[in-house]
């Protein structure tokens, strides 16, 4: 799959629900918000307003009170202003040396078994992975990623792999509702993902967008690592990072960043 650089920002814009540009493409700094790896995690899994509330609680709560007193129209305008902001990512936001093209690969019985974090690693066959530059971005080091290069076995301290596919609407509701697999029971409040990309694609509201650059339509999913100490296996191929009711926005952000970390952007032409 041949991918041009602008498609990266289109894919991020689709899954985050905001306008994303590379820093070098931003002609001026007014209204531009810097987006780093950790804030990407918060927006992708909790929604844009969760980031605003966690990082700027006073100004956000002030705007919330304004909405209550001025009315619904003001609410819509305030939400629109949040969406209209441009989010700038560094030009080195991606890490091409870890890209991998799975688009023409299919699962077969002869595949070598792989594990990550002592869990089976089900590779994202049919998708193209674009690696995010996540090394040295978290205060607890890089052990959660494991060592570089091809290998079939896990390393101590490494986190298992999961997939999370959602568009903006799904992201904002992910911790406000209780996920149901098919007609089954609800499992609780929190962030859901799956070690099986086919499950993630089936049950999530997968980001889908038509590129303005080439006219093609793509789906986009995040590839993550999940902290096994903070994850619950609630059903076959369904993992939950619990976030209890009443958790503050700052604590939600802390839970997410220490529990589930996107490290790849997966694209598939549809």
| Nearest Cα residue to 213 out of 165, 134, 267, 168 | 267
Q: End-to-end distance of the chain based on CA atoms, in angstroms?
A: 12
User: What is the per-residue pLDDT for 30?
Assistant: 65
> Which pLDDT value is given to residue 227?
96
Q: Return per-residue pLDDT of the chain as tens, 270 residues.
A: 556 778 889 998 888 878 899 999 987 766 788 888 888 888 888 776 666 655 543 333 333 334 334 444 444 444 445 556 788 999 999 999 999 999 988 877 666 789 999 999 999 999 999 999 999 999 899 999 999 877 889 999 999 999 987 654 444 444 545 555 555 557 788 888 899 998 888 765 556 889 998 899 998 999 999 999 999 998 888 899 998 888 888 888 889 889 999 999 999 998
Sign of CA dihedral 172, 175, 177, 180: positive
Compute φ and ψ for 71, nearest 5 degrees: 115, 180
pTM value is: 0.83
CA-based torsion, 133, 136, 140, 141: positive or negative = positive
Q: What is the pLDDT of residue 66?
A: 40
> What is the percentage of the chain residues whose pLDDT exceeds 90?
34
- According to the model, what pLDDT value does residue 56 have? 47
Domain count for the chain:
1
Q: What are phi and psi of 257, to 5 degrees?
A: -65, -25
User: What per-residue confidence (pLDDT) applies to 67?
Assistant: 38
pLDDT at 203: 62
Q: What's the pLDDT score for residue 106?
A: 83
Tell me which residue range forms the domain holding 47: 5-269
Report yes or no: 66 and 78 within 8 Å, Cβ to Cβ: yes
pLDDT for the residue numbered 117? 94
């Amino acid at each position: 799959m041949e991918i041009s650089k602008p498609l990266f920002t289109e894919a991020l814009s689709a899954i985050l629900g905001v306008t994303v540009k590379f820093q070098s493409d931003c002609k001026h700094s007014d209204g531009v918000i810097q987006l780093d790896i950790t804030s990407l995690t918060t927006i992708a899994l909790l929604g844009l307003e969760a980031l605003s509330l966690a990082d700027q609680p006073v100004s956000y709560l002030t705007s919330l009170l304004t909405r209550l007193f001025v009315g619904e129209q003001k609410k819509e305008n305030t939400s629109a202003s949040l969406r209209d902001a441009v989010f700038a990512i560094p030009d080195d936001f991606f890490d091409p040396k870890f890209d991998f093209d799975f688009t023409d690969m299919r699962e077969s019985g002869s595949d070598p078994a792989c594990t990550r974090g002592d869990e089976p690693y089900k590779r994202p066959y049919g998708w193209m992975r674009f690696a995010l530059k996540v090394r040295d971005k978290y205060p607890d080091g890089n052990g959660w990623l494991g060592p570089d290069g091809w290998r079939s076995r896990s390393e101590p301290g490494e986190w298992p792999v999961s997939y999370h596919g959602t568009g903006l609407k799904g992201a904002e509701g992910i911790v406000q509702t209780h996920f149901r697999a098919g007609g089954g029971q609800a499992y609780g409040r929190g962030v859901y993902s799956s070690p099986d990309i086919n499950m993630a694609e089936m049950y999530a509201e997968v980001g889908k967008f038509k590129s303005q650059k080439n006219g093609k339509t793509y789906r986009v999913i995040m590839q993550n690592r999940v902290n096994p100490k903070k994850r619950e296996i609630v059903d076959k191929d369904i993992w939950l990072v619990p976030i209890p009711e009443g958790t503050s926005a700052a604590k939600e952000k802390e839970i997410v960043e220490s529990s589930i970390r996107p490290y790849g952007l997966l694209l598939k032409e549809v």
